């Protein structure tokens, strides 16, 4: 079955970087985009950006443009999201999600299980 | 960015009730609207895409409708496993995806 498995929880100090991985299985990795979405404790969902595993094209949300890098490794069907210059506001669960495009529309399905990132001195 | 709002922010209902959740976009998004269900400690799960298309494997008690700026998610007969938070998401602007703030359904 289609599955996204993310790396484990991380604890980082303010100013550090975090890199979260998302390994896909059960489908052709290069045929679908991967988006990253985060959720602060008790809060809603915030889209961070998208990457195409087919050609490496990216589209970052303006809020994260200067601090995020999304990459993929097609040999292992793995997507990565690196966020730099962490502050306490970046403490959240980070999800990857497969993005399906059909015609002019798109949706996220399935999602990874989430990776908790804690930022603490 | 397109802003998404949802109402109510939370509701309490009983098993068997018909539940309706509303999502509104700050501008017309045609039918580029998706709905997700999220249970505590879990990842969101796609329920409805393109405003009214039921995702494979999702029970038929879930339905979606609407176009333009106003959308609804309806659960025709609430079940105990439907306790969750529901989010709408606009897919009109793929370069700037936004979600609604969520509606928490308590049984």
How many distinct helices (H) and strands (E) make up chain A? 0, 11
Residues of A in contact with B42 (CB under 8 A): 113
Q: What is the pLDDT of residues B60-86, one digit of tens each?
A: 999 999 999 999 999 999 999 999 999
Question: CB B81: neighbour CB atoms within 10 A?
Answer: 10
Residue B94, pLDDT > 80, answer no
Q: How far apart are CA B90 and CA B29, in angstroms?
A: 7
Question: CB A121: neighbour CB atoms within 10 A?
Answer: 7
Q: What is the pLDDT of residues A14-48, one digit of tens each?
A: 999 999 999 999 999 999 999 999 999 999 999 99
Nearest chain B residue to A35, by CA: B97
Position B43 confidence tier, pLDDT thresholds 50, 70, 90: very high
Which of A45, A95, A109 has the CB atom closest to B87's CB atom? A45
Note whether B89 contacts A: Cβ–Cβ < 8 A: yes
| Spatial contact of B81 and B30, defined as CB atoms under 8 Å apart | no
Note whether B52 contacts A: Cβ–Cβ < 8 A: no
Give the model's pLDDT for residue A101. Answer: 83
Reading the block at residue B100, the tokens are 């609604």
Residues of A in contact with B50 (CB under 8 A): 105, 107
């Amino acid at each position: 079955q289609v599955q996204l498995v993310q790396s484990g929880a991380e604890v980082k100090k303010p100013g550090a970087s975090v890199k979260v991985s998302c390994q896909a299985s059960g489908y052709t990795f290069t045929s679908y985009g991967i988006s990253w979405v985060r959720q602060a404790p008790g809060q809603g969902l915030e889209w961070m950006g998208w990457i195409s595993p087919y050609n490496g094209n990216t589209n970052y949300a303006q809020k994260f443009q200067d601090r995020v890098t999304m990459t993929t490794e097609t040999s292992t069907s793995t997507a990565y999201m690196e966020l730099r210059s962490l502050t306490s506001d970046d403490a959240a669960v980070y999800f990857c999600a497969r993005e399906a495009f059909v015609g002019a529309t798109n949706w996220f399905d399935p999602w990874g299980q989430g990776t908790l990132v804690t930022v603490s001195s | 960015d397109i802003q998404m709002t949802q109402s109510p922010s939370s509701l309490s209902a009983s098993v068997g009730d018909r539940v309706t959740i509303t999502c509104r976009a700050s501008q017309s998004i045609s039918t580029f609207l998706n709905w997700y269900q999220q249970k505590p400690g879990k990842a969101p799960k796609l329920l409805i895409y393109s405003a009214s298309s039921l995702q494979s494997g999702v029970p038929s008690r879930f339905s979606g409708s609407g176009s333009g700026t106003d959308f609804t998610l309806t659960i025709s007969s609430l079940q105990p496993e439907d306790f969750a938070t529901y989010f709408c998401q606009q897919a009109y602007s793929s370069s700037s995806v936004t979600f609604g703030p969520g509606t928490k359904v308590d049984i």
